[in-house]
Structure 1
Amino acid sequence: MRRRILGLRTVAMAGVLVLGTFATTAAGPAQAGAKPADSTVTDYCQGQCDDILPPGENGNATLADILANKALGTHPSHSDDQLATYDSLTDGSGSITDATIGKFFNDSSFGVPAGQVASTESPRSDVTITRDKATGVPHITGTTRSGTEYGAGYAAAEDRLWLMDVFRHVGRGELTSFAGGAAANQGLEQQFWQAAPYTEADLQQQADRIAASGPRGRQAMSDAQDYVDGINAYIDKAKPARTFPGEYDLTGHMNAVTNDGTIDHFQVTDLIALASVVGALFGSGGGGEVQSALSLQAAQAQYGTTQGTKVWESFRERDDPEAVLTVHDGQSFPYAQAPAHPAGTAMPDPGSVVPEPEVIDRTGSAAGELATKGVPARTPVKAPAALKPLQGVYDNGVLPADLLTNPRKGMSNALVVSGAHTASGHPVAVFGPQTGYFAPQLLMLEELQGPGISARGAAFAGLSMYVELGRGPDYAWSATSAEQDVTDTYAVPLCDPAGGTPTTADNAYLYHGTCTPFEELDRTDSWSPTLADSTAAGGYTLRVYRTKYGLVTDRATVGGKPVAYTSLRTSYMHEADSIVGFQMLNDPTYVHDPASFQSAVSNINYTFNWFYADSQHTAYYNSGNNPVRAANVDASLPVLAEPQYEWQGFDPDTYTADYTPTGQHPQSVDQDYYVSWNNKQAKGYTDANFGDGSVHRVNLLDARVKALVQRGKVTRSDLVKAMEDAATTDLRGEDVLPDVLAVLDSAPITDPQLAADVAELKQWSADGTKRRETSAGSHAYADPDAVRIMDAWWPLLVKAEFEPGMGAGLYSALGENLTVDESPSAAHGPTGAHAGSSFQYGWWSYVDKDLRAVLGKPVAGPLAQTYCGAGSLSACRTALLTSLQQAAAVPATTVYPGDDTGCAAGDQWCADSILQRPLGGIAQNRISWQNRPTYQQVVEFPAHRP
């Protein structure tokens, strides 16, 4: 744990800081537009900005480092020094004060105090990289802009070269040929290729278009080239010095004895490929319209067209009046609402939907029954026998197989309180992205100071030419995934180019009356046995068909006629366009107040919720290119591929369209407080998800922050406590269990064991329904039986409540739209096990609304009918008690079955625990579960530029 020394804070505020080759002083404010290389850089946070990103900044490990880690458990310097600090907040948040924030976060002031400089290097004469002793974060100072970006690339390669190399290959559908044919590698590259299959010409076209877009676009591509030059300079230095990551040895790219082999240079198109990965993971919303159509059809089959549609709409919860809103000041921002008279909806014929296969022509170890042709495999460098003990280090793949198991990516949170309600009179923010837990992290920390750039914070590895989430001299910003619907599904009529009767097997479609062949996007990938992959040689071809309406995902018939369903999103072929918005955020001559901040992030086409705080103001803005749809198109369902239903202004050659103006995006300035946990943004604003209703995990934040604001005099530590208390609370227990208990208490429980089980749940409720250790390091929960019962009971409860009334078919179909449960220990659902982020997706709202209706309580926006016990309180109580009895009888060894990560069956704490999933050769210790951002800032600016 890093110890903060008060004297360093005093030094920081006095202004004796080393920023590379120039000094910083707080004696007077810097003028807007002043260049850090030519004048002073004033840090207006004055020691009140902090952040953290576990496990550590150093993500590169040499072969010797990896061998030592496997044999002795040692870690390279700064590879794990933020992990224990991050973990300690679960036990220490209750006693945290503003004075002790430094025990749980790292000082994120600009510069490095003179006595805390660990190293200084100048990879080029116009840039200096200074690393601090505490965390090893690179502080990059350039006398020229080119030098600053060159240094950013050099530092990125020092800290994340292997990870950057992995992800540029993921983005090109080439992971298995690069890192081996393990099943996890195959699954990952297949999923990304399906989302963003780009040719090299596509990647270059994106770079060229940005460069031609205007002065900022030209500057961005110039910055990108300098950044790439810095990466390559490090590669050229590291190879002969053998300081490159040891994973290159383990995957057969380099020879540990002779140093033969190759680490390929980077190019700007690699950054575009990296951006496509980030965009697919975190910045795109919508899709899933085919599954929505299937569940609507199931509802109509169960209840008839009219009532079935009402039932489906009540579960869709497009604009639920009980949903917690980020913008709660009464503003409305209508978008993607259900039209009064929908037209062009393309519902599939029952049983006709067949997903489009993506993998063909399998060979060798990938063949199964589909081997049809040989694919040349990469020949790895022969590894020395001494490394044979490491055989299998990567047998499960270099990346986790469930990284993209579900396209819905609900992540990150934000708590922001305006100065009107704080103790200091200045806004306070605790915010950050939940990007998963990996070793090394997908994000990296940095400080950039150079002409037109002054920022410190986090950026995705390989895209760190700008800080993407962090702070400037007198402002800070962060984001959460928004997921508004910017992806539509079109039913494209298939045709036979020879003029025959079309079938679903045809690979041509009607575009404005002309039979047009699909564009075939193939990527042949193959692998050989290496130390990184003990499977036999093999390979396959990835194939995606592209149309002017997007990528083919399914085939079906609509009204008896064959169609291909295609997915069209506004960010396709435009993932890298957001670079201009990030450039603006790093430029303090551009961003200086809420309006300029909102202008900057409006240039980001990823679907994000953006939050801002300076010494006087707070602000919020929802970004993304929202297409302008025809008034009668239902964005939640597939639509016919006909001109009248296309996006307005759609150009299929450039994949551009008319987008809703900035004024129609949810936004606000100086609201009393903002909370976000991937919830509904504003009244009238429909996102792509089912389940944005009365109970959502953002309720955990809203209840706590609202109480603080009503009390007033909120401090930084107050907001940290609120965040962490929510982070260790079971949403089901806090917001749904009270209604469940009310149903059970409607009559005496005569069975002694059931009465005891209910008593356990009531005690847990009284204790705050926490999933937290009894004491630091105990690895045991308070109220463990209640937690076990809830984990076993919830899926059984939901099924007992809903399936009898709606039937197995509809219950299953709606479960495909929204998973029933996402508890911390679940090895299923969008996040997988040991992933931290929990309770984003589940039937919490449905259970809450239904049980309140059974209890006779008022419900705004109720379900179309009551399900539990068909509306009978007595019958509902019986169903719940029966399911509780079943759940309570399930032993802990079954609820928590153990897994291949080292958790023994029945170990409740371990089942919940967070693992930093290895993306390289260094393993990390597991930590306690907490539902919290991966990278997180705590900020309060006491001053601002004049």
Structure 2
Amino acid sequence: MPRRTVRTTLDRLRTPGRVTGFLKSASICVLIAGLLSPLTQATATAATASNDYCGGQCSDILPPGENGNATLAQILLNQAFGTQPSHAEDQLGPYANLATGYSGLTDAKINTFFNDASFGVPSDQVASTESPAGRSDVTIVRDKKAGIPHITGTTRYGTEFGAGYAAAEDRLWLMDVFRHVGRGQLTTFAGGAASNQGLEQEFYRNAPYSEADLQAQIDNAVANNGARGQQALADANAYLAGINAYIDASDSGRYFPGEYVLTGHKDSITNAGTIDHFKITDLVALGAVIGSLFGAGGGGEVNNAISLIAAQSKYGVAQGTKVWESFRERNDPEAVLTVHNGESFPYATKPADAQGEALPDTGSVTTEPLVYDATGTGASQSATAASQTATTTALSSARRGMSNALVVSGKYTASGHPIAVFGPQTGYFAPQLLMLQEIQGPGISARGASFAGLSMYVELGRGQDYSWSATTSGQDIIDTYAVELCQDDYHYLYHGTCTAMDKVEQTNSWKPTTADGTAAGSYTMRVWKTKYGPVEYRATVGGKKVAYTTLRSSYMHEADSIIGFQMLNDPDYVKGPKDFQSAAQHINYTFNWFYADSSHTAYYNSGDNPVRASGVDAEFPVWAQAAYEWKNWNPTTNTADYTPASAHPNSVDQDYYISWNNKQALDYTTAPWGDGSVHRGNLLEDRVKKLVAAGGVTRTKLVQAMADAALADLRAEDVLPKLLKVVNSSTVTDSTVADAVSKLQAWVSAGAKRTETSAGSKKYADADAIRILDAWWPLLVKAEFQPGLGSDLYTAITNNLPIDESPSAAHGPTGSHAGSSFQYGWWSYVDKDIRAVLGESVQGPLADKYCGGGSLSSCRDILMSTLKTAAGTSASTVYPGDSLCSAGDQWCADSIVQRTLGGIKHGNISWQNRPTFQQVVEYTSHR
């Protein structure tokens, strides 16, 4: 039966999902009349808090809302009139309002902008109570404010059954979408829209798993983890039973997600059609998508090689290598660090004498085709074009890392207890990829966020007397191997034997649907696999034909991390920081993990970091030969020796920790470029360091530090003052430039933030200065560096690191309306180069001075010229407009959109560079 107490007839009808272009509204009223389901009254009872040591000082938030399901009726009403199902967007307003409300924040007002994350639900806040499928061993209570499920079980099986049932109530369509994405079958399931093609193509190349592959990962995870492995399997099966019980109930009650009707899986009148039950291999397929998005650092070795070759071609091998290394910033001495106590954790460092490198011949690299035999809609959608759709770009950008953490030791807080403000940014979607829940049962006691379809445990959140969170870390667990071809293009040398590649294919076809408006079509995705992983590129090396493959340590191990999450949810396991670190060590994906309880803080960097052969440089492709393989690598199981826990950056009770996907520690090389002197991590570092120096830190002050950094323009705060110093090194006589300088300086003096003039104004203070910098940055970067580097090398380096990622930069790696900004750009390069031209001290300088060839006067001329052009560029050119925004609408161009993964749409909100799920915690006591 439907899960909630009576609110209104329309509020009882709900759905989750992804699809664009729905049925026209002409017959909405007729359809609604036929779709309303019978209502039943649930009994509201109190839920009691269990072993909560936070003292009412734990809070969280996850926009847009907990409810990610909607019936067909609700979708049609939303599309026609903008009405929202209950709890579909009630966390969006509080989340958005912090941007203008944080300056007046007090501890008492925190839950104006966050949810109370205490365990349980007060009796006067209970909205509904149900026993799913009539079970007596589990109860799901939902609160009035946010509709979050609080699952309490008296048996382990019942607890996990309830978790699965609640997950399906809140995210069934989304879960179905992503199990099909993970299998490369989204278009067959949801239609041939370009965004659907892009999603399945992107993930299929990285994880082209067969059903046997998926099952083998489950079997291995269970077999290798003893009693915990067996418990994980039992938990997963109970969770699946809960999901499937809801599918059956919603089908018989006719309140299943409306997207199933819109994509042709169900008939709204006859109820014909089926919603397939979930099976255990679906969980691995889901896990593969999430792991690929957020926890698979590394790769890019071929692009690195191309840019190195371009540098060597321009400067010669020795100087070209020096130039390349200076831009790579592997171990930049000015980089902001999470572990800042001086401790070194060497990993993937540059070897003194690189061995086994297999750099491609100039111009020989081609990308391995993925799509074949395309017809209909698919024939006009190349893999590249499809992957550039807005939703796909937003999802794929998530893998680059967008989360942050601020943690302060109790020594520096007003209460003497540690304080943390932390969370992941998983992108903005409707519904969200994450869902909130509380789970209380035998061996489980936690509240927080979990990825939909993987919520048998809380993945980010709190236990009875501790909280934990993560940011994407990005250390390199992916290597590229050059397999020498033999016989033909589909055989390669493996340990001297000519070996056939394995061909893996997935053919998808689709019919026209009202959901996406596409014509019928089909195509085949084909991946060639070797023992060294799937083929991604082809090239020649020294004239020899090779295929470049990507080998990921978590490949064929997508299920392994379940053990670490099980431990984090177990109150009998995690009793302090060392237990937390041990649990995090069982997670094989690349994350930074943070912890706080009433007395301690801690940090641990997780991931299966392979032990590479001596002399191998992880930055570049190496030959697929035994001498250069990971130590004790077994291709059958894709296992190897991994660096020990002590070699991973880790710490307990450091004065403070910050993380915004920055460098973890000294000598620890991360795969992404850009860990230099200016990184968005500096926005947190500068603010938290000042708070710690002053002492008396409170939850309010730490939230304010996060919110202030979330509105800052990194370029304006950390680079613009140096640019203006060059411009002002002589009197500015040009009136246009002088006016621009005045506006920019005033903006810097005001705090260099992108903030509204007042709440809801949808107009920026310092709007002209923001427009000028947005126009100036790409112009000045190109004018500063391209003449010295040359077009080929400049282009090659921009392929490694885009020049800009401002909030409105649709050309940047994150795409438009995505929220996350300033992770990737040439801020450090500009900063180091301008300081060098000014004659200031630079640690880890670039190999040359580029602005004006190192001449201050010539550099000033370049900056003046490009600034004048930028000042004269109209807002309509800087912000060209799109389907949401008119040209010239600066606020709208920056604004955040909840990208639809289903039928329900939400309004855009003002930009802030902030985690999507976020916690504010300060524990008052400990068990």
Distance 1:255 1:408, change over 3 A: closer
Partner of 2:903: helix, strand, or coil? coil
Partner of 1:148: helix, strand, or coil? helix
Superposition pairs of residues 683-702 of structure 1, within 5 angstroms:
683-702=666-685
Shift of 1:70: 1.6
Matched residue, 2:587: 604
Shift of 1:830: 2.1
Superposition pairs of residues 547-586 of structure 1, within 5 angstroms:
547-586=530-569
Q: Please list the CA deviations of residues 105-143 of structure 1 after superposition, one character each: whole Å capped at 9, or x if unmatched.
A: 110000000111110000122110000111100000000
- Give the alignment's Cα RMSD to 1 decimal: 1.6
Superposition pairs of residues 684-833 of structure 1, within 5 angstroms:
684-833=667-816
Superposition pairs of residues 55-454 of structure 1, within 5 angstroms:
55-123=64-132, 124-213=135-224, 214-368=226-380, 400-405=391-396, 408-454=399-445
The 8 Å contact of residues 21 and 128 in structure 1, kept in 2 or not, is answered as: no
Shift of 1:408: 4.8
Distance 1:925 1:396, change over 3 A: farther
The 8 Å contact of residues 292 and 399 in structure 2, kept in 1 or not, is answered as: no
Distance 1:370 1:297, change over 3 A: closer
Shift of 1:72: 2.0
- Identify the match of residue 531 of structure 1 among 514, 523, 547: 514
Partner of 1:367: helix, strand, or coil? helix
Q: Which amino acid aligns with 1:285?
A: G
Shift of 1:829: 2.3
Moved more, 417-426 or 205-214: 205-214
Q: TM-score, normalised by structure 2?
A: 0.94
Shift of 1:152: 0.2
Q: Which amino acid aligns with 1:255?
A: D
Mapped partners of 1:396, 1:714: distance in 2: 45
Q: Deviation above 6 Å: which 4+ runs of structure 1?
A: 19-23, 395-399
Shift of 1:368: 4.8
- Identify the match of residue 631 of structure 2 among 643, 648, 655: 648
Shift of 1:23: 6.7
The 8 Å contact of residues 818 and 897 in structure 2, kept in 1 or not, is answered as: yes
The 8 Å contact of residues 549 and 566 in structure 1, kept in 2 or not, is answered as: yes
Matched residue, 2:5: none
Moved more, 423-432 or 739-748: 739-748
The 8 Å contact of residues 398 and 427 in structure 2, kept in 1 or not, is answered as: no
Superposition pairs of residues 494-533 of structure 1, within 5 angstroms:
494-496=485-487, 506-533=489-516
Q: Which amino acid aligns with 2:204?
A: W
Partner of 2:897: helix, strand, or coil? coil
Partner of 1:859: helix, strand, or coil? coil
Shift of 1:397: 12
Mapped partners of 1:591, 1:22: distance in 2: 28
The 8 Å contact of residues 194 and 381 in structure 2, kept in 1 or not, is answered as: no
Mapped partners of 1:404, 1:427: distance in 2: 33
Matched residue, 1:938: 920
Matched residue, 1:36: none
- Identify the match of residue 679 of structure 1 among 641, 657, 662: 662
Matched residue, 1:838: 821
Q: Please list the CA deviations of residues 344-367 of structure 1 after superposition, one character each: whole Å capped at 9, or x if unmatched.
A: 010001111011000011122222
Mapped partners of 1:628, 1:642: distance in 2: 16
Partner of 1:206: helix, strand, or coil? helix
Q: Does residue 920 of structure 1 match 2:911?
A: no
Q: Please list the CA deviations of residues 487-506 of structure 1 after superposition, one character each: whole Å capped at 9, or x if unmatched.
A: 0000000010xxxxx5xxx1
Mapped partners of 2:484, 2:364: distance in 1: 14
The 8 Å contact of residues 48 and 121 in structure 2, kept in 1 or not, is answered as: no
Mapped partners of 1:23, 1:55: distance in 2: 25
Across the two proteins, how many residue pairs are aligned to each other? 880
Distance 1:407 1:70, change over 3 A: closer
Q: Please list the CA deviations of residues 792-815 of structure 1 after superposition, one character each: whole Å capped at 9, or x if unmatched.
A: 110001001000001000000000
Distance 1:759 1:511, change over 3 A: same
Mapped partners of 1:52, 1:81: distance in 2: 10
Mapped partners of 1:493, 1:397: distance in 2: 32
- Structure 1, gaps ≥5 residues long: 1-18, 26-40, 372-394, 497-501
Q: Does residue 457 of structure 1 match 2:448?
A: yes
Shift of 1:426: 0.0
Partner of 1:209: helix, strand, or coil? helix
The 8 Å contact of residues 47 and 126 in structure 2, kept in 1 or not, is answered as: no
Partner of 1:588: helix, strand, or coil? coil
Mapped partners of 2:96, 2:173: distance in 1: 26
Matched residue, 1:910: 892
The 8 Å contact of residues 351 and 617 in structure 2, kept in 1 or not, is answered as: yes
The 8 Å contact of residues 192 and 510 in structure 2, kept in 1 or not, is answered as: yes
- Structure 2, gaps ≥5 residues long: 1-42
Shift of 1:208: 1.0
Partner of 1:724: helix, strand, or coil? helix
Q: Please list the CA deviations of residues 9-46 of structure 1 after superposition, one character each: whole Å capped at 9, or x if unmatched.
A: xxxxxxxxxx9999747xxxxxxxxxxxxxxx310001
Partner of 2:852: helix, strand, or coil? helix
Q: Percent of pairs identical after alignment? A: 68
Mapped partners of 1:74, 1:368: distance in 2: 35
Partner of 2:131: helix, strand, or coil? strand
Partner of 1:245: helix, strand, or coil? coil
Matched residue, 1:5: none
Q: Please list the CA deviations of residues 144-180 of structure 1 after superposition, one character each: whole Å capped at 9, or x if unmatched.
A: 0000000000000000000000000000000000000
Distance 1:907 1:399, change over 3 A: closer
- Identify the match of residue 849 of structure 2 among 844, 856, 866: 866
Mapped partners of 2:382, 2:853: distance in 1: 49
Mapped partners of 1:631, 1:683: distance in 2: 20
Mapped partners of 1:455, 1:836: distance in 2: 28
Mapped partners of 1:484, 1:369: distance in 2: 33
Partner of 1:476: helix, strand, or coil? strand
Mapped partners of 1:772, 1:407: distance in 2: 24
Q: Please list the CA deviations of residues 197-252 of structure 1 after superposition, one character each: whole Å capped at 9, or x if unmatched.
A: 10000001011111212111111111001000000000000002111110111111
Q: Which amino acid aligns with 1:472?
A: G
Shift of 1:401: 2.6
Mapped partners of 2:395, 2:255: distance in 1: 32
Q: Please list the CA deviations of residues 524-581 of structure 1 after superposition, one character each: whole Å capped at 9, or x if unmatched.
A: 0011101113221110000111111111000001011000000001010111110000
The 8 Å contact of residues 61 and 76 in structure 1, kept in 2 or not, is answered as: yes
Shift of 1:402: 1.1
Shift of 1:828: 2.1
Partner of 1:401: helix, strand, or coil? helix
Q: Does residue 616 of structure 1 match 2:599?
A: yes
Partner of 2:790: helix, strand, or coil? helix
Moved more, 869-878 or 881-890: 881-890
Partner of 1:455: helix, strand, or coil? strand
